[in-house]
Chains A and B, each alone.
Chain A
Amino acid sequence: MTAVELPGVDAAPHAPDDHLVLDVRDLRMRYGSVDVLHGVDFTARRGEVLALLGPNGAGKTTTIEILEGFRLRSAGDVRVLGVDPGRGDERWRAQMGVVLQSWRDHGKWRVRDLLAHLGDFYAPYATDRIRRPWPVDELLDTVGLAVHAERRVHQLSGGQRRRLDVAVGIVGRPELLFLDEPTVGFDPAARREFHELVHRLADSDETTILLTTHDLDEAEKLADRILILAGGRIIADGSPDELARRVAGDAEIRWTRGGERFVHAATDATGFVRELLRQHGDAVRELEVRRASLEDAYMALVYEQESGARVGAAARVWQTGDER
């Protein structure tokens, strides 16, 4: 499988796979006469962290809501934890967690009461492998709300409230977790703590996580694989590194010599610099080598999709890079 897929390239018939937690084939969604999703394909294995990126209006939320079973799709073959989300029952529901953006619901509840109450619904779905629900005190510790356990929800700050949202999402020890823009409104410290939590969930509990975000840095830190959704299709699917390298294979080298500025793009940056220094030695100043970042890749891919062309990716990557 290539790291960066073109839509329609991977059209080979696909065999059902028990290890796939998410299996989405040719997912289509149409509102009235407007097509929002034109055939979305992707899969996720157990314990994988997927980041779904894309411009506003690309269909990220629609996709997630279809997978959560909150919205019926127009067409396509979708399996979530082996079940069609349009027909998921309560047992299926108990295996997944949804982190919702809360606002002012349950404002009069104490944090501990709310988590204990919601946990009660999961108790009948405990298995030998997964004990459900997550014990409240442990959970409060995990999300860093232990000192606020007795406070009312409406007294929490924005960041504390988002942590509570995460706690509610994982109280049933989900095998699959949906996070829609989880760190909006987090300060840097809360963001880092949250990232550690996601790593812990994915590594030790083998939770599969699908998150959406606009923060490319966050996607790069958290995700094993990045999906870029634009124009109703997955236009790229691969690890952050792979994406950056595939789309913008060249590194950019800048230097000055004799007061003049030079910019050069090269695939073998190290070799180019070695040659440069050998030729000009001390005359080379302000040397700078910049690898293509995920952001460059993202901008290039989305730009291409939106302009309808698919040529000269790298050139445009540097164009956008220079404007900054």
Chain B
Amino acid sequence: MSPTGAAVRAGVRRGVIELRNTFTNFQDLWNYFFPTAVLLVAMFFMRGATVPGTTFSLGARTLPSALGMGLAFGGMLVLAQQLVVEREDGTLLRAKATPNGMLGYLVGKITLMSAVALVSMFIQLVPALFFLDGLRVTSPAAWFTLAWVAVLGLVATLPMGAVIGSLIENPRNLGLVMLPTMGLVALSGIFYPINGYPGWLQAVAQVFPIYWLGLGMRSALLPDGLAAVEMDGSWRHLETLGVLGLWAVLGLVLAPVVLRRMARRESGSRVAARRERAMQRVV
């Protein structure tokens, strides 16, 4: 087998092993279930309220939006965070010291992030179906839309996550990305429609992937009638494809350059220096 082929296969196996490892420790399980629990509780209490201008449950509208938000978070922030942490702890340097190890590492991360996104969607969706009504879970068309939005969402967000993770050197600076993202969630109509917002705020929200992932997921799981309360009164699939596609292209162009630059600079003494700094943080 070609070395590249072997590295890709090893990378996929790496992702599978890392996924399995996430089920074996408290921290990772907490990361799976805690945000899910919070969202489910919120949706539970929102189930009686209605989307303005309709009789549809606001809780049921929030579920697909939250799934979209989860994809964006997993793709960008979690990947960025893992890159920063694993650069600090030397995982990346090990990959660099291994033939085609960087390729294997990245394939592994993509595998892991995609699998974690699937698992997270599943553990949100299944319990929510017990108390939320009106979702189109029996329609094959719904699942088809959900699938392409999810895949495109990952392709749009993972490379950007890699770029962010490569540019941040100190784990403490992750907050610089975390806070604006939280603000963006508020803008992006995840928990409440944004039709009432000023036009410029709506414009800002529509630049970023979170809004479109929420919209795409709603278009998959909500009845068609609900499109009327979206902006322009439509699910805007073409626009969703367009904006997420642009982010994907931008990310796929930038990520290899930034990742290569970051990887080139890794060495034992850099990892040692970071370790020293981290130790001082702990004390």
Q: Given A65-B268, A100-B97, check contact A105 B89 (CB 8 Å).
A: yes
User: B6 and A123: CB pair below 8 A?
Assistant: yes
Selecting from A88-96, A213-221, A223-231, the interface stretch reads A88-96
Residues of B within 8 A of A100 (CB): 90, 93-94, 97, 268, 271
User: B89 and A103: CB pair below 8 A?
Assistant: yes
Q: List 19 A-B contacts (CB under 8 A).
A: A61-B268, A62-B269, A65-B268, A65-B269, A68-B268, A93-B99, A94-B99, A100-B90, A100-B271, A108-B28, A109-B17, A109-B21, A113-B17, A121-B6, A121-B7, A122-B98, A125-B3, A168-B94, A172-B98
B10 to A, closest residue via Cβ: A120
Q: Which of A61, A68, A90, A105 contacts B86 (CB 8 A)?
A: A105
CA distance A152 to B272 in the complex (A): 23
Q: Which of A117, A124, A152 contacts B3 (CB 8 A)?
A: A124
User: B25 and A108: CB pair below 8 A?
Assistant: yes
| Interface mask (A168-196 → B, CB under 8 Å = 1, otherwise 0) | 10001000000010000000000000000
| Interface mask (A117-145 → B, CB under 8 Å = 1, otherwise 0) | 11011111100000000000000000000
User: B21 and A105: CB pair below 8 A?
Assistant: no
Q: A101-B272, A105-B86, A121-B98 are in contact. List 15 more A-B contacts (CB 8 A).
A: A65-B267, A68-B267, A68-B268, A94-B3, A103-B275, A105-B91, A105-B94, A108-B24, A109-B21, A117-B13, A117-B17, A120-B9, A121-B3, A121-B6, A125-B99
Q: Which of A71, A94, A104, A152 contacts B267 (CB 8 A)?
A: A71
| Interface mask (A79-107 → B, CB under 8 Å = 1, otherwise 0) | 00000000000110110001011111110
Q: Does A70 contact B (CB under 8 A)?
A: yes
CA distance A161 to B153 in the complex (A): 39
- Distance in Å: Cβ of B169 to nearest Cβ of chain A: 16
User: A120 and B13: CB pair below 8 A?
Assistant: yes
Q: Which of A62, A105, A121 contacts B99 (CB 8 A)?
A: A121
The interface of chain A, by Cβ under 8 A from chain B, is 61-62, 64-65, 68, 70-71, 90-91, 93-94, 98, 100-106, 108-109, 113, 117-118, 120-125, 152, 168, 172, 180
Q: Which of B24, B28, B268 contacts A101 (CB 8 A)?
A: B268
CA distance A168 to B9 in the complex (A): 19
Q: Does B218 contact A (CB under 8 A)?
A: no
- Distance in Å: Cβ of A38 to nearest Cβ of chain B: 19
Q: Given A90-B99, A101-B272, check contact A121 B10 (CB 8 Å).
A: yes
B1 to A, closest residue via Cβ: A124
Residues of A within 8 A of B100 (CB): 90, 121
| Interface mask (B1-29 → A, CB under 8 Å = 1, otherwise 0) | 11100110110011001100110110010
User: B25 and A98: CB pair below 8 A?
Assistant: no
User: A98 and B97: CB pair below 8 A?
Assistant: yes
Q: Which of B1, B89, B96 contacts A70 (CB 8 A)?
A: B96
Residues of B within 8 A of A91 (CB): 3, 99
CA distance A94 to B97 in the complex (A): 9
Residues of B within 8 A of A90 (CB): 3, 99-100
User: B266 and A121: CB pair below 8 A?
Assistant: no
- Distance in Å: Cβ of B94 to nearest Cβ of chain A: 6
The interface of chain B, by Cβ under 8 A from chain A, is 1-3, 6-7, 9-10, 13-14, 17-18, 21-22, 24-25, 28, 86, 89-91, 93-94, 96-101, 104, 266-269, 271-272, 275
Residues of B within 8 A of A71 (CB): 267
Closest 4 CB pairs of A and B: A70-B267, A94-B99, A120-B10, A105-B91
- Distance in Å: Cβ of B107 to nearest Cβ of chain A: 12
B97 to A, closest residue via Cβ: A98
B274 to A, closest residue via Cβ: A103
CA distance A168 to B2 in the complex (A): 22
Residues of B within 8 A of A68 (CB): 97, 267-268
- Distance in Å: Cβ of B189 to nearest Cβ of chain A: 37
User: B99 and A122: CB pair below 8 A?
Assistant: yes
B104 to A, closest residue via Cβ: A121
Indicate the member of A61, A94, A120 with the most B CB atoms within 10 Å.
Answer: A120
Residues of A within 8 A of B25 (CB): 108
- Distance in Å: Cβ of A251 to nearest Cβ of chain B: 40
A106 to B, closest residue via Cβ: B91
CA distance A65 to B272 in the complex (A): 13
CA distance A117 to B268 in the complex (A): 21
Q: Given A70-B267, A180-B268, check contact A118 B98 (CB 8 Å).
A: yes
- Distance in Å: Cβ of A103 to nearest Cβ of chain B: 5
- Distance in Å: Cβ of A168 to nearest Cβ of chain B: 7
User: B21 and A93: CB pair below 8 A?
Assistant: no
B2 to A, closest residue via Cβ: A124
Indicate the member of A68, A71, A103 with the most B CB atoms within 10 Å.
Answer: A103
User: A124 and B6: CB pair below 8 A?
Assistant: yes
- Distance in Å: Cβ of B103 to nearest Cβ of chain A: 9
CA distance A298 to B268 in the complex (A): 26
CA distance A124 to B269 in the complex (A): 30
Residues of A within 8 A of B101 (CB): 118, 121
CA distance A284 to B137 in the complex (A): 102
CA distance A122 to B99 in the complex (A): 7
Indicate the member of B267, B271, B272 with the most A CB atoms within 10 Å.
Answer: B267
Residues of B within 8 A of A152 (CB): 24
Residues of A within 8 A of B89 (CB): 103-105
CA distance A103 to B277 in the complex (A): 13
Q: Given A94-B99, A104-B89, check contact A117 B10 (CB 8 Å).
A: yes
CA distance A109 to B91 in the complex (A): 12
